[in-house]
């Protein structure tokens, strides 16, 4: 039988509509009707928006949030943060990853993300040996997704070298490394692990140009199937300089010149691009995976987002290091970084008089679905029934209508606004909390006590 939710107002692809009935069956919308009357016994909400895709997550890093905020001997950077991360992950086993992922994903759901792209590179045991079950770690990610109920796009990562010009990997990278043949086996095992997850998508993720050779990249792309391709690119100035030294080209420029990038690609970060790279990347139809809170946390830099959007570029947002998990906060930071850099307001709003919140939300919704290979997004028949309702009595939302709701959600709320979340038609968040939040939180606390002592 169909399930329904009657919404006093809901965000449809064409904008806000009143008196909307969302109907779904087996996790997929079968009808979306506006201007209808509520039935007497029908489930009802004031404000509903579609769930967003989180295009870039390393779930295990949630457990090290707050552990890398102490200055080292020299100048701290992404690279010193990475050393802290390598030391931390040396202790993580599959059970820890499952517990941490469940916690991270429950928090994602509580802020309005309904699908996550897990860029998964922690494949082997702490000594760098493959587990007897090749997909032990992928199964831990799957377990976390199943415990939370979030939609999963798994992106097994290919990582083969420590830097450009075949630099040897560091001991901290031993858990990530595979050959192309090993990666093919890992991918097959991951596909098997995903059979337990309704609507799961499998992609491939060559880690970055510093971690793969051109031949390896071609071998990985030959395995891609129908899923998306994700890669870290142009996050750090040092990475761009090393790429220039090794190839004579910048990372995004090199990928474009090889003709690799198409609409199924997600170029994660895309922070340091020339104007020519920015326009050309926009023209490929690929998604830029901006991770504004992590990029601020790591001191990465500010991406040329206004130029990219003006050229028709698509973007999704990712929580990356999961130092904070906040869908609205990512969109706010994306805009605020531009305001600080350009000393202007409403930089990403687009046309005059248009709402910044609306533009950011719609773009992240469409770009997220494309980058995660999850099919049509939003409240339309045929799309996955991912629904987020907002607390209309929240001080930030009282008296607000239509685009003001999105502007207030993103820019005006100092505590969470999300009330309920349905993921693939099943309710996972009630009263702002994940329905299994207590058990998931207790398992996370046990894992963290083990890891931090």
Nearest approach in angstroms of CB 276 to Zn ion is: 25
Tell me the pairing of strands 426-430 and 433-434: antiparallel
Tell me the residue nearest to Zn ion as measured from the CB: 320
Smaller CB separation from Zn ion, 16 or 290? 290
Strand 418-423 relative to strand 387-390, pairing = antiparallel
Residue 157 vs 347, nearer CB to Zn ion? 157
Catalytic residue list contains 320: yes
In this structure, are residues 137 and 184 in contact, taking their beta carbons and an 8 Å threshold?
A: no
Nearer residue to Zn ion within complex by CB, 78 or 422: 78
Query: What does the alpha-carbon distance between residue 303 and residue 9 come to, in Å, rounded to a whole number?
Result: 34
262 is catalytic: no
What's the closest the beta carbon of residue 211 comes to Zn ion, in angstroms?
12
Backbone angles phi and psi of 15, in degrees to 5 = 125, -170
* Residue 96 or 320 having the CB closest to Zn ion: 320
The answer to whether 355 touches 408, Cβ cutoff 8 Å, is no
Would you say 63 or 423 has its CB closer to Zn ion? Answer: 63
Please report which helix (H) or strand (E) contains residue 346, including its range: none
**Closer to Zn ion by Cβ: residue 320 or 386:** 320
Subset of residues 311 to 340 that bind Zn ion, contact rule: CB under 5 A = 320
Query: How many residues of this chain bind Zn ion (CB under 5 A)?
Result: 1
Shortest CB 294 distance to Zn ion, Å: 7
For the CB of residue 157, give the shortest distance to Zn ion in the complex, in Å: 9
Q: How far apart are CA 60 and CA 201, in angstroms?
A: 20
3-class SS of residue 107? helix
The answer to whether the CB of 186 falls within 8 A of the CB of 160 is no
User: 215: Cβ–Cβ under 8 A, 6 or more apart, which residues?
Assistant: none
Query: 272 near 237, Cβ under 8 Å?
Result: yes
Question: From the candidates 96, 300, 320, 386, which is the catalytic residue?
Answer: 320
Of 58, 120, 269, 434, catalytic: 269
Structure tokens at 255: 């990928």
Nearest-approach distance from CB 318 to Zn ion, in angstroms? 7
Q: Is 19 left (phi over 0), alpha (psi -120 to 50) or beta?
A: left
Helix axes 356-372, 327-342, angle to 10 degrees: 120
**Which residues have C-beta within 8 Å of that of residue 305, sequence separation ≥ 6?**
290, 315, 334, 338, 347, 348
Q: Which of residues 412-451 bind Zn ion (CB under 5 A)?
A: none
Q: Which CB atom, from 110 or from 320, has the smaller least distance to Zn ion?
A: 320
Q: What's the min distance (Å) between Cβ of 56 and Zn ion?
A: 6
Give me the least distance between CB of 278 and Zn ion, in Å please. 20
Q: Shortest CA distance to 310 belongs to which of 346, 342, 351?
A: 351
Q: List residues bridging with 152 in a β-sheet.
A: 116
Task: Name the residues that contact Zn ion, by CB under 5 A.
Answer: 320
Which residues are the active-site residues?
A: 269, 320
């Amino acid at each position: 039988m169909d399930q329904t939710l009657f919404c006093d107002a809901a965000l449809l692809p064409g904008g806000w509509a009143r008196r909307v009935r969302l109907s779904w069956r087996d996790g997929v919308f079968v009808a979306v009707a506006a201007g209808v009357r509520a039935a007497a016994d029908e489930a009802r909400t004031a404000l509903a928006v579609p769930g967003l895709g989180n295009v870039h997550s390393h779930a295990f890093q949630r457990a090290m949030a707050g552990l890398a905020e102490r200055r080292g001997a020299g100048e701290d950077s992404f690279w010193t943060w990475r050393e802290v991360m390598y030391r931390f992950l040396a202790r993580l086993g599959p059970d820890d990853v499952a517990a941490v992922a469940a916690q991270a994903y429950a928090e994602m759901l509580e802020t309005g993300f309904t699908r996550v792209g897990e860029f998964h590179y922690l494949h082997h045991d702490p000594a760098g040996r493959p587990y007897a079950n090749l997909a032990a770690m992928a199964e831990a990610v799957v377990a976390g997704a199943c415990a939370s109920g979030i939609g999963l796009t798994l992106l097994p990562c290919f990582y083969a070298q420590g830097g450009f010009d075949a630099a040897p990997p560091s001991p901290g990278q031993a858990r990530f490394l595979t050959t192309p043949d090993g990666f093919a086996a890992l991918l097959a095992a991951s596909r098997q692990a995903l059979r337990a997850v309704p609507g799961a998508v499998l992609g491939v993720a060559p880690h970055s140009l510093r971690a793969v050779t051109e031949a390896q990249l071609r071998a990985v792309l030959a395995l891609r199937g129908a899923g998306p391709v994700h890669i870290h690119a142009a996050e750090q100035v040092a990475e761009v300089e090393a790429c220039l030294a090794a190839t004579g080209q910048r990372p995004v420029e090199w990928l474009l010149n090889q003709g690799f990038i198409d609409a199924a690609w997600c170029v994660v970060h895309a922070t340091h691009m020339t104007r020519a790279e920015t326009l050309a990347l926009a023209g490929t139809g690929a998604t830029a995976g901006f991770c504004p809170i992590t990029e601020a946390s790591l001191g990465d830099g500010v991406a040329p987002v206004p130029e990219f959007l003006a050229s028709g570029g698509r973007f999704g947002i990712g929580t990356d290091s999961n130092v904070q998990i906040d869908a609205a906060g990512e969109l706010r930071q994306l805009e605020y970084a531009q305001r600080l850099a350009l000393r202007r307001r409403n930089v990403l709003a687009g046309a005059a008089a248009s709402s910044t919140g609306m533009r950011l939300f719609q773009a992240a919704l469409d770009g997220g679905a494309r980058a995660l290979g999850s099919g049509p997004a939003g409240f339309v028949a045929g799309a996955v029934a991912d629904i987020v309702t907002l607390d209309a009595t929240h001080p930030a939302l009282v008296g607000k209508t239509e685009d003001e709701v999105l502007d207030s959600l993103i820019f005006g709320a100092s505590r969470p606004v999300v009330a309920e979340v349905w993921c693939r038609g099943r309710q996972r968040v009630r009263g702002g909390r994940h329905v299994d939040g207590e058990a998931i939180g207790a398992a996370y606390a046990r894992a963290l006590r083990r890891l931090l002592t």
